[in-house]
Amino acid sequence: MPVAARHQGATVVEINPDETPVSDWARFVLRAPSGQILPRLLRATWPLEETRNESGLLGL
């Protein structure tokens, strides 16, 4: 799917501690576990006040 998405003009971001066959197709490659990178990306992109719903969970 990432290769097809890239052919359609999508920006592919790979988040994986290891190189994969998708690595060559990805526009951005982040070498770390997703559990470490994704929370940091969310905090950097959206302030927590805007991304939490009433239950305190991310409500994107």
Domain of 20? 2-51
Number of domains in the chain: 1
User: Is 26 part of any domain?
Assistant: yes
Residue 56 has pLDDT above 80, yes or no: no
User: Is 58 part of any domain?
Assistant: no
User: Is 43 part of any domain?
Assistant: yes
DSSP structure string for 1-60? -HHHHHHTTPPPEEE-SS--TTTTT-SEEE-S-HHHHHHHHHHHHS-HHHHB-TTSSB--
User: Is 60 part of any domain?
Assistant: no
Q: What pLDDT, in 10s, does the model give residues 7-51?
A: 889 999 999 999 999 999 899 999 999 999 998 888 888 876 655
pTM of the model: 0.66
> Which pLDDT score is estimated for 18?
98
> Which pLDDT score is estimated for 7?
87
User: Is 33 part of any domain?
Assistant: yes
Residue 53 has pLDDT above 80, yes or no: no
User: Is 18 part of any domain?
Assistant: yes
User: Is 41 part of any domain?
Assistant: yes
User: Is 31 part of any domain?
Assistant: yes
